[in-house]
Copies of this chain bind each other. A is one copy, B any other.
């Protein structure tokens, strides 16, 4: 059994903790969390052991929530750490994991240099096996990498142009804007996603730009890919139907917006209504010579969860990526081709 400690219990950390508890080869040692808020209360009520950073404040005392120890205690009891703290905190935390001699999985908000590998399971699981520090890339980069890699592997990809229409805030982030604007974020292009994608797929010729808009449930990627040869729409559909963690949908079945992504997530019966798959509109796929165009949606809160689970196994030394991904997908109820 791989004993897993999760540091940070926000959007990603809480989901990783839940997913770890579903794995037959993993034990959740506990989670480290800064404040004893309602989410800590809920975790405690479910029997999750809570660890607190030492000396930050006294808010845990008198909270009525039992604290199992310090963050350092959690590190000591774990075989693998998943750091899901806010962007940039992972860099400050890594020395503690080094001191404890524990391999760690970081998130995409950290600089690539924090890990030996920028990780997307389908693309480069092997490269992460036995590494000490692995960085799961961000939600957008994960979604781009899965899709581009499937087409690169099958057809060869010469160039990618991806325009990202990003959700501006997660549903619980009521303080964030905008509420009536499309914001170029960044204005200066390319956005960081291009360089980040090249961390996963080296040498890829890719241009990315991004806007954020007043929606909360999913990003949308509007993509053009120039392939190494002319490939028809049906060939692309065939490849994507067989591909892991990509699901095809169609407007013929009433699927036309990120609201539909949100609804299908709630209908799947998974925890939190999560959608772990790239959601690709089959009828958005079109070809013009060697160019393929398509649109996909990415549930930003959920898509990296299977990657975190696979990254745990990789740093723990499991050599078979397909074994890991098969196990992750079956425990998380990720099926192929079932919505198309």
Contacts and interface: CB of A to CB of B under 8 A. Distances in A.
A13 to B, nearest CB: 25
A182 B207 contact: no
Contacts of A189: 284, 286, 293, 295
Contacts of A216: 180
Contacts of A220: 182, 184, 211
B257 A288 contact: no
A94 interface: no
**Closest 10 pairs between A and B when the two form their complex, measured CB to CB:** A187-B251, A163-B222, A181-B259, A213-B213, A183-B257, A163-B163, A181-B257, A188-B283, A182-B220, A182-B258
Given A188-B251, A209-B222, A251-B187, A180 B259 contact: yes
| Stoichiometry (number of copies) | 2
A62 to B, nearest CB: 38
Interface residues of A, number: 46
Contacts of A251: 184, 186-188
A165 interface: yes
Contacts of A224: 161, 207, 224
A322 to B, nearest CB: 33
B211 A214 contact: no
B180 A214 contact: yes
Nearest to A213: B213
B209 A284 contact: yes
B288 A207 contact: yes
A184 B279 CA distance: 13
Interface in A207-236: 207, 209, 211, 213-218, 220, 222, 224
A291 interface: yes
A251 B295 CA distance: 28
A178 interface: yes
A291 B215 contact: no
A63 interface: no
A281 interface: yes
Interface in A269-292: 281, 283-284, 286, 288, 291
